[in-house]
Amino acid sequence: MNSVTGSFDDAVRSISNARVRGIACALPRTVAEVADLNEGFGEENVAKIMSSTGIERRHIVQDECTSDLCVAAAQRLLDDLDVDRASIDTLIFVSQTPDYTLPATACTLQRRLGLPTTTAALDVGMGCSGYVYGLWMASALIAGGGSRRVLLLVGDTISKLVAPADRSVAALFGDAGSATLVEYDATAAAAPFVLGTDGRGEKNLIVPGGAFRDRAGADVSTSETDVRGPLDLYMNGAEIFAFTLARVPALIRALEKCADEQRKPIDKYVFHQANRFMLEHLSKKAKLAPEKVVLNLQNVGNTSSASIPLALSLDASDGGSTLQGQYMLAGFGVGYSWAGCIVDLDSTWISPLTLVGTDSNEA
């Protein structure tokens, strides 16, 4: 069952009969230390960046693509859960760093994972809010009867878009891929979702060139001499921060109201792992108990769309275990776009992290 209630600003979309059975994540084998940026940015500046962001190192791809990370995560998850691949009827790939302009990366993932040709496969071009958007899509398809078992693959390799000399982003972004199995369960309770969009934030987090509006990369509006080009990522950090503090607390309140009505306390809050400074301010403004807010980016950085499943995986110690409790998940940023939900993750399997690299057998 799928219903929408509430005002325009906090409309809650409630979806039943969909269960998150398991999650797996994969990281590139190569690790980049933030301290290695001392020579270019200065030791004092780098120390300030690490103190503010809470990031000390990131996992960075070499020749791998997002699809390679997601394949490794999916293979691990399906093997751990002993899932018959023929039973998967839908594959959703959420990323802003696909393999190609065309075809859809989801099509190549269907082949690489050995899924049946009856599988519906599609790409969704979302970033920071992408994981929750993907869960919403998968759950809605299941609740509506269009799917029974959905493999949700979410990840990004944003490091490929970062100009090494751009101090605003060079120390932030890591790469990761994830796989989540969502399936029909008649006993699964309703999960509330809140989703929203404000395209006025388009130019505050953007790669302006390289696609079809500026295919040749002639637009230099976000470029600075010797810092970044039109094919590199531009981020206006101050505007993203202001957007987050202005918009996300209302999302949290709307979902907390649902939890109160259902008399199911929220055990943990897992937000998009943007940076420590932002998450601490957001938690304070939303009046959240610090011990309930998951912060897991010290060793992986901001992994864009994969940050929420990766934070869940890291929160489950070394993996190979199950989560327990009610979790609020919320992603926000590029677009502007935001999405939050409360999911029951009792007995949700978390696979151990998989490392992928050109010098390993896992790539």
Tens digits of residue pLDDT in 198-230: 999 999 999 998 899 888 877 666 767 778 888
Number of structural domains found in the chain? 1
Residue 146 resides in a domain = yes
Instruction: Output the pLDDT for position 267.
Output: 95
Q: How far apart, in whole angstroms, are the C-alpha atoms of residue 312 and residue 295?
A: 10
The answer to whether 201 and 244 have CB atoms below 8 angstroms apart is: no
CB count within 10 Å of CB 257 equals 14
AA identity, residue 21: R
Residue 218: name the closest of 202, 226, 229 by CA: 229
Residue with tokens 């696909």: 98
Give the distance, in angstroms, between the CA of residue 291 and the centroid of all CA atoms in the same chain. 22
Residue 45 resides in a domain = yes
Task: Provide the annotated active-site residues.
Answer: 128, 272, 302
Residue 232 resides in a domain = yes
Residue 362 resides in a domain = no
Tens digits of residue pLDDT in 14-69: 999 999 999 999 999 999 999 999 988 999 999 999 999 999 999 999 999 999 99
Residues of the domain holding 216: 2-356
Residue 209 resides in a domain = yes
Residue 312 resides in a domain = yes
Structure tokens at 166: 């751009």
How would residue 1 be classed by pLDDT, with cut points 50, 70 and 90?
very low
Residue 361 resides in a domain = no
Q: What is the CATH number of the domain that holds 230?
A: 3.40.47.10
**26 Cβ contact partners less than 8 Å away, ≥ 6 residues apart:** 69, 70, 72, 73, 76, 155, 176, 177, 178, 353, 354, 355, 356, 362
Residue 339 resides in a domain = yes
